[in-house]
Amino acid sequence: MCTHNNHRSFDQLLSQLSTRLINSESAETQDCIAEAIAAFGSYVDADRCYVFEFSDTMTSMSNTHEWVRDGLSAHIDDLQGITEEELPYFFNLMKNTFRFIVHDVRTLPEAARNEKLEFEREDICSVVCIGLVANQKLLGFVGCDMVHKRYHWTDDDVRHLSLVADMIANSLERQRTYQQLIDTQRQLKEANSKLQALATRDGLTGIPNRRALDEKLLEEVRRAKRQGTGLAILLIDIDHFKAFNDTYGHLKGDEALKQVATCLDAVMQRSTDFVARYGGEEFAVLISTDSAWQALRKANELLDAVEQLSIEHKNSPTEPYLTVSIGGYFELPQPDAEVASTISRLIDNADQGLYQAKADGRNCIRFR
């Protein structure tokens, strides 16, 4: 195979391959492995040089890299997902000895009948495979074939290929560790996003909760100050909701809350609109707008939309259907206005408007 068998020349090649693999970024590892087996295959005059990786359960293997001498056929596409049942002799030997060395495939025992047929299909006469072992785990193997001619693998051949196998195994393990880290970080990010969503979403209605409203108010007041735009807040309370629960039960009450929340969210379609459950049967709507009139128009839409849900409320003094009362307040925050005091003023004035709407008979809107 290696006619000159020049140890010094191989040591130089090994040093080059090792440096290339060690210095490669994780994203380059696969390309570096391909370069390594091509360089080694050319150096030792093999016809094919390749890498297979085992599945996590060690019950199947796939050809991940293949170098083929000019004029010979590639087989990588045909060698995917090969199961232990297909090549039991090979799997057993590789798992137990981490080696598969065959000088002449014709001498394989009857137990290796499947393996012999596969080698004949690929015109392989001699084959050597060395396991890729990292952290005491068999990841796969690197191998070399001789096609149309037989070759007796020397101790140096096996030793050289074993050194290459060690380098590739360490590179694969490093990449797997890196990928596991990336996957873990992604999973943590997704988990944190879900937790954040849960922390800022109302569990019953699915819309943002009071915490999310507080965060949005802070954000929107700062933005309004920077851009010189106006901000309106509506506080919306379901009329006589205790009487509704007493009449229809709390399950129906929960369903009514969800319907109202969905209705409010459907009316407020702009990306700058924000609907939240404020607490109990109360909701809040934050509107970026240029005038109190535009906010009042939206409030009227919300009032009508809820009534048009036609949720029966026979014990309501207001209507035969579920209704809401709305208090609103509009402000154009000044550039030098304090954020906390602006937020407090928005909520306090909207709350006073809501109190007035209730005092005036409910199912109405009062702006401050």
Catalytic residues: 281
| Secondary structure string (H, E, C) spanning the chain | CCCCCCHHHHHHHHHHHHHHHHHCCHHHHHHHHHHHHHHHHHHCCCCEEEEEEECCCCCEEEEEEEEECCCCCCCHHHCCCEECCCCHHHHHHHHHHCEEEECCHHHCCHHHHHHHHHHHHCCEEEEEEEEEEECCEEEEEEEEEEECCCCCCCHHHHHHHHHHHHHHHHHHHHHHHHHHHHHHHHHHHHHHHHHHHHHCECCCCCCECHHHHHHHHHHHHHHHHHHCCEEEEEEEEECCHHHHHHHHCHHHHHHHHHHHHHHHHHHCCCCCCEEEEEECCEEEEEEEECCHHHHHHHHHHHHHHHHCCCCECCCCCCCCECCEEEEEEEECCCCCCCHHHHHHHHHHHHHHHHHHHHHCCCCCEEEC
- The angle, 0 to 180 degrees and rounded to 10, between the axes of the packed helices 250-267 and 241-248 is 130
Closest CA to 5 of 212, 177, 153: 153
Structure-block tokens of residue 200 = 């800022």
Cβ contact 298:223 at 8 Å: no
State how far Cα 351 lies from the chain centre. 42
Rg (CA), the chain: 37
Closest CA to 138 of 125, 127, 129: 129
Count CB neighbours of 220 within 10 A. Answer: 21
